[in-house]
Each structure stands twice: as C-alpha cells, then as structure tokens.
C-alpha cells in the first residue's frame, strides 16, 4: 500500500490503517521483554533516559530495516535527539527516542493553529533567532490571522515555559524534542516521500564511507613480519599437533586406547611434558589450562601478588556470567579488590581506577574491562616471565610424564574394547564447578596398557 504525500489537514482512512500498523510495530519495539534495548543516552552533557540508537531500531524493524525505520521517523513515531530537523534514520550510534502516544498521528490530536502559534511563540521567547526561515514566515502569517487572541497566545507560551523550567533538565529536553518532532511532521517544511528511497541509499553509502575511512586509519603490519609469524607458530606447535606428529602413548581414535585422554584430564596430578611446555608458549595458554592457572597462582602467592590473578578471574566471571548477577559480582569485586583499604587491593593506575570507579556506579558487563586488561598485561609482562624461570615451573617440567609409545597390537584384527566415559552432563546433579567447566571429562573406565610413569 502506498503512502502518498502528507495532506495539509487530516489523514484519509487508508493512511490511518497504515499508521495503526506502524503503531503496532512501535508498541512491540517498546515491549520490555522482546523489544529494543534502551538505555540512557548522552546528549552533550545531559543524559536522556530511554533512548536507543539508530542501529537498534534497525534490528527490530529488520527486513528493509532502514526503509521502515525511515518511515517511522518520517511520521514522527521515532525522533532523533541530535539534528531534529533531519528526519532520517541513521544506522549508527545516533540517539533516538520514541514519541509519546499523545503526539501519535492517529490519536488525531488537533494540530490547530492556536497550538502551533503557542509553540512558535515559545521558541521565539526562549531564544531569539531560533526560528527557522519558514517558521518566521508562518509566525508572522499567524500573527496577522489570529491577532485577536495574540495576548492569549503569548500568555500561554510564557506559562508553559515557566512550567517547563521546573522540570529536570533531561525531562525538559525530552519534552522539547517531542514537541519539535511533532510539529516538524505536522507543519513540515518539505513533504515528498519519494525522498525516502534516496535517503536510504544515501545512508547506506555513508555507512560504507565511514567503514572505509576507519579502515584507512588502521595501522598495518608488513606482510613479511606477519607471515614469519605463521612459520614460527607452526614450528613451535609441530610436536603438539597429533595429526601431524602423532600423540603419546597413542591416538585414541586409532588404537582404541584412551590412555592419552586419561593422562591429559584437567585435574590430573602429574601432567604430561608437552602440556607443561605449552604453558611457556603464551600467557593465554597458561591461563586457559586450569592446572597451569593453579600452578601460577601458587607462584604468585609466594610473591604476595596472588590478588592479581584472583581479580582477573573475578572480572572474567562478570564478563561471561549471568546478566542477573552482574551487579552483585561487581559489588563484590569493589569490596574485595578496589575499595580503599580492601583486603586484596590490586594496584591499578589512577586513571584506570577513576574510570572504573565511575563506571561501577552503573554496573554493566564490560565495566571491569579496562582494569582487567591492565592487570592482565601487568601479570603477562612481569610475573609470567619470572614464573617460567622459577624453580616451581622447572620442577614441574622435570617431573612431567613422557608416555611411552604403545606399539601397534600384534594381532591387528583384535579390537580393544571401547570404554564409555562419564558424561559431563552428569556434573549438573552434583553441582557445577565455579567456572562451569566439566569435571574430568573423558576418563576411561579402565586404563588398559600404555603409559609409563617416569
């Protein structure tokens, strides 16, 4: 159904059906469970509540998102907080707000001349020269036409301005935006809707240009350096790649013997040599291995800097845990690690600390990111290299197991019995580990053959 150009007064029935459809979309978008994510948006220095970004609008409207979104803006159901005159939906971080139903087109609020006059008068009184050219023209036309009630107009305007001054600045801005949006629709300076599709392509091109500009600003590394990196990585991990070099005592899929897995479970007491070697390849490898992390913690505690790793783990928990627990977890972190005089205070530079403390006032999933990274890199550059040189690590490496290779069975046709293993899903009934990882997955029923303990 096509929507024709705006009529000067009133809307015909066909258009009304369309507005009702748009209104259904708008209501759905504001549904607290399924609707859009709204948050406080900064507009200069004021925080506007319940605003959303242009991109979020596109998510909800989806198919030909930008087109529908543009329609919603054009008809005033959504209005932009910045550049209110530009009734275009930008698929970026520009803030928008839903128009209050009071101002919805279908409620047929009589956009009478009197109301328009009061609106213009308010604008004029508030700030001289704020009226646009076409508004100035209309103002003088109205002044002539309803001159007999002009006193009333000015009085009303003054009253409304006085009342609005009583409100909080954020509310005031919102109301002003709502009103402005409404009048931009109902007394629009330009009308044609054929502009919509051009606007759509323009916004799409703007997006491409923005992406290109950002890409041009990137720092690139020379190919020779990057590609050398691949060669080095492959060399370093060659012995650790079972498909390339085989694995000890044997590859379970080939020999039907699960000894390899048994020796490499998360909670094994004595790890294999290859595993301990991997801890020296990168800090991330050490932290990703629960046994490695445990060893590193032991080392840090000897150095009285164990709180760094504890802090890092707590931050990971916030980032990857349940949304509902974020606030309480952040509170806990603050009390334990960041508050002045905290039991396990971590040493973060003042700039990051200030930023983090500020963010804690409105905790969200990523509020600890900067602090977490700071501590991560601190450990990586300082404690980690020293750990690798420490006796603790060297001893672990020395006593690590190097399994003996299992020779292929003498009778190749006799297949070993393949043992089942306890399912990780079983853990649920016994209580899940803190970080939700499966306990001892892949343990075979019996350990038949293979593996000597040196």
Partner 1 sequence: MATQEVQLNETLTHLKTESETLKTKLEEERAKLHDVELHQVAEKVEGLGQFVMKTRRTLKGHGNKVLCMDWCKDKRRIVSSSQDGKVIVWDAFTTNKEHAVTMPCTWVMACAYAPSGCAVACGGLDNKCSVYPLSLDKNENLAAKKKSVAMHTNYLSACSFTNSDMQILTSSGDGTCALWDVESGQLLQSFHGHAADVLCLDLAPSETGNTFVSGGCDKKANVWDMRSGQCIQSFETHESDINSVRYYPSGDAFASGSDDATCRLYDLRADREVAIYSKESIIFGVSSVDFSLSGRLLFGGYNDYTINVWDVLKGTRVSILFGHENRVSTLRVSPDGTAFSTGSWDHTLRIWA
Going across the sheet that includes 39-43, the strands are 39-43, 46-53, 95-98, 78-80
- CB-wise, 16 or 242, nearer to partner 1? 242
Q: Judge contact between 259 and 451, C-beta under 8 A.
A: yes
**Least separation in angstroms between CB 67 and partner 1:** 14
Residues in the chain: 454
Note the Cα 310 to chain centre separation in Å: 24
**Least separation in angstroms between CB 390 and partner 1:** 22
Kindly tell me the sign of the dihedral angle through the C-alpha atoms of 116, 118, 119, 120.
positive
Nearest to 397 by CA among 303, 297, 273: 273
- CB-wise, 118 or 403, nearer to partner 1? 403
CA angle 278, 386, 374 (to 5 degrees): 90
SS3 category, 267: coil
Query: How far apart (Å, rounded) are the C-alpha atoms in residues 409 and 305?
Result: 51
**Least separation in angstroms between CB 131 and partner 1:** 21
- CB-wise, 365 or 386, nearer to partner 1? 365
- CB-wise, 126 or 418, nearer to partner 1? 418
- CB-wise, 55 or 170, nearer to partner 1? 55
Kindly tell me the sign of the dihedral angle through the C-alpha atoms of 54, 60, 66, 71.
negative
**Residues 24-46: b if buried by 16+ CB within 10 A, e if exposed:** ebbeebeeeeebbebbebebeeb
**Least separation in angstroms between CB 166 and partner 1:** 36
- CB-wise, 69 or 121, nearer to partner 1? 69
Q: Judge contact between 375 and 348, C-beta under 8 A.
A: yes
- CB-wise, 17 or 190, nearer to partner 1? 190
100: part of which helix (H) or strand (E)? none
**Least separation in angstroms between CB 32 and partner 1:** 10
**Least separation in angstroms between CB 295 and partner 1:** 19
Query: How far apart (Å, rounded) are the C-alpha atoms in residues 25 and 29?
Result: 6
- CB-wise, 45 or 221, nearer to partner 1? 221
Q: Which residue has the tokens 């603050």?
A: 334
- CB-wise, 2 or 166, nearer to partner 1? 2
Query: How far apart (Å, rounded) are the C-alpha atoms in residues 276 and 281?
Result: 10
Pairing of strands 39-43, 46-53: antiparallel
Kindly tell me the sign of the dihedral angle through the C-alpha atoms of 337, 341, 347, 350.
positive
- CB-wise, 12 or 223, nearer to partner 1? 223
**Least separation in angstroms between CB 30 and partner 1:** 14
- CB-wise, 177 or 379, nearer to partner 1? 379
**Least separation in angstroms between CB 430 and partner 1:** 11
Compute how many other C-beta atoms are within 10 angstroms of the C-beta atom of residue 144. Answer: 8
Query: How far apart (Å, rounded) are the C-alpha atoms in residues 72 and 77?
Result: 5
Nearest to 380 by CA among 229, 233, 279, 232: 279
**Least separation in angstroms between CB 354 and partner 1:** 20
Structure token digits, residue 230: 């691949």
């Amino acid at each position: 159904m096509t929507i024709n150009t705006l009529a000067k007064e009133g809307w015909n029935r066909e258009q009304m059906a369309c507005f009702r459809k748009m209104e259904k979309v708008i209501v759905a978008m504001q549904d607290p469970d399924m609707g859009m994510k709204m948050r406080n948006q900064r507009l200069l220095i004021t925080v506007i509540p319940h605003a959303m970004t242009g991109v979020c609008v596109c998510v909800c409207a989806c198919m030909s998102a930008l087109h529908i979104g543009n329609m919603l803006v054009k008809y005033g159901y959504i209005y932009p907080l910045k550049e209110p005159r530009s009734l275009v939906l930008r698929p970026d971080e520009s803030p928008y707000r839903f128009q209050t139903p009071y101002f919805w087109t279908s409620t047929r609020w009589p956009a009478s001349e009197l109301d328009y006059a009061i609106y213009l008068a308010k604008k004029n009184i508030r700030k001289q020269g704020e009226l646009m050219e076409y508004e100035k023209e209309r103002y003088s036309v109205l002044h002539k036409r309803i001159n007999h009630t002009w006193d009333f107009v000015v009085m009303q305007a003054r009253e409304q301005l006085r009342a609005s001054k009583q409100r909080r600045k954020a509310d005031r801005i919102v109301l002003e935006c709502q009103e402005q949006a409404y009048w931009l629709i109902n007394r629009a300076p330009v009308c044609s809707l054929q502009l919509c599709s051009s606007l759509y392509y323009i916004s799409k091109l703007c997006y491409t240009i923005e992406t290109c500009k950002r890409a041009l600003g990137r720092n690139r590394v020379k190919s020779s350096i990057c590609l050398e990196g691949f060669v080095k990585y492959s060399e370093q991990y060659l012995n650790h790649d079972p498909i390339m070099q085989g694995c000890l005592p044997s590859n379970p899929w080939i020999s039907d013997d699960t000894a390899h897995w048994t020796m490499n479970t998360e909670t094994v007491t004595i790890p294999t040599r290859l595993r301990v070697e991997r801890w020296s390849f990168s800090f991330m490898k050490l932290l990703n291995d629960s046994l490695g992390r445990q060893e590193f913690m032991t080392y840090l505690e000897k150095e009285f800097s164990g709180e760094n790793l504890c802090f890092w783990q707590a931050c990971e928990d916030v980032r990857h845990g349940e949304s509902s627990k974020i606030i309480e977890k952040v509170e806990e972190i603050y009390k334990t690690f960041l508050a002045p005089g905290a039991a396990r205070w971590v040493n973060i530079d003042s700039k990051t600390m200030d930023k983090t403390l500020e963010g804690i006032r409105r905790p969200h999933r990523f509020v600890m990111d900067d602090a977490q990274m700071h501590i991560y890199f601190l450990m990586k550059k300082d404690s980690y290299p020293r750990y690798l040189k420490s006796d603790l690590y060297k001893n672990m490496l020395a006593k690590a197991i190097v399994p003996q290779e299992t020779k292929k069975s003498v009778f190749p046709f006799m297949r070993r019995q393949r043992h089942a293993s306890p399912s990780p899903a079983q853990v649920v009934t016994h209580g899940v580990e803190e970080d939700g990882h499966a306990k001892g997955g892949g343990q075979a029923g019996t350990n038949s053959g293979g593996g000597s303990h040196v």
